[in-house]
Structures are given as structure tokens and as C-alpha cells.
Structure 1
Amino acid sequence: MYINCFDRDRGFGKFTVNYQSGLYVIADTNNSDVVRLITSSGLPNACEFRHRLAWGPPRDPKLAEALRHWASLVEDGTWSVDSNGVCADHEWFTTNTHVAKVPPCLD
């Protein structure tokens, strides 16, 4: 469902660099360090919070929150690591969207 909106007039594809997948910092006046991950399939919501935030308006995760979650995926064995880094490819985010989403941090 979200992949279809990638190329629409206001789709996230317009805000990528040469329609490349990656982690993008979003220019937000309230949270200057929020990020959005665009997967290689065009999925723009793989790096959102799993649940709505109870303590404020909806927002994308901050860079530190996304990196903290990704570190936990390495620590709990979800992602394996070798001498080249994480072994999972970009397709992992599309096929494991629920796990890829960032759990809200309450601390």
C-alpha cells in the first residue's frame, strides 16, 4: 500500500537523491534529527514507530532512536554481522516491516 504512494505528486520518491534507497534526515521545524528510511522497493514507512506516541504528536523517529533500534537487532541476533558489517540486505526491511519499525522508547 505504501509503495504505491512513492511516485505520486507528493510521494517520498520526490525527496530522495536520484530515487535511491537510504536513510534520509527530514527537515522538520520541531525535530531537526528525525529520519525516514526509503527501502529499495520504495517502501517509505519501514523505519517508523511501531505504535503511536502517547506523549505527543506523531513524528518519525529521531536518528538516535533508529540507530539504537538497529543496534538492538544486532545484539539480539536478528541481524548477523561479519567482517563486512550487517549481513541483511535492504530487502529485509520490506519483508520484515513490523520488526524493522522502531519501538517507542519510554526513557
Structure 2
Amino acid sequence: MIGPPNPVSNLRPIIRQRLLHETPLQQRLRELQDETQAWNEEFWSEHNTRFIKEKESYIKSHLNPNDERKTLTADEMSEFYKAFLDHNWKTHVKYNFEWYSRNFTLLFLALKVNLGFTR
């Protein structure tokens, strides 16, 4: 089952059914899927919270108090987006390596399950 998106992480939770006669390999796959989902949820919740906080701070610091505008132009915001991405580049690279590693492991386990292996 897939639920509605989390308002902070924007990820949709997946609720996996535990099989009645689950093999040890199927259990390992399900648990790793759930663990990866939780890890991904935590990363994007923290990332998006930090992004929103820094974006609001950037907007406040760049708006003139005497100006009637409530937001900055796309060109003005592009400076923030670039700075945010540059500042978080190492975090994103580390995330991507971990994400790919987890997905290859999940793919390998799913292949073994689909081929009928039990352990």
C-alpha cells in the first residue's frame, strides 16, 4: 500500500505486507526495503527542513523593508539555489552513493527471491 506524501520529505510511504510463510530471504528483503525507506525519509526530511529554513532566511535578508514585495524574483532566488546546492554538494554525493549501494543490494536480493532462493 502507498500512502499520501509526507508534507516535509515529500515522499510517499510504502507499507509492505508481511507474507504468511515468508522465507528468511524474503524477510531480509522486506526489512532492508523498510530500513532504506526510513533512511530516505530521514534524509529528505532533514534536507527539506534545512532548505526551507535557509530559503526563508535568505528572502528576509534580501528584501528591502520599505519594499512592498513579499518575495524575490526568480533571478534573485537563483543565487540562493546555486549557493544551497554548492554548499550541500558533498552531502548529495554521499547520499547518492549510499542510495545506489542500497538499491543494488535490494535488486540483488529481489532477484534471488524471484529465482526461488530461500536464504
TM over 0.5: no
Relative to total residues, which structure has the larger helix share, 1 or 2? 2
Q: Relative CO higher for 1 or 2, CA cutoff 8 Å, sep ≥ 6? A: 2
TM-score by length of 1: 0.29
Q: Which has the higher strand share?
A: 1
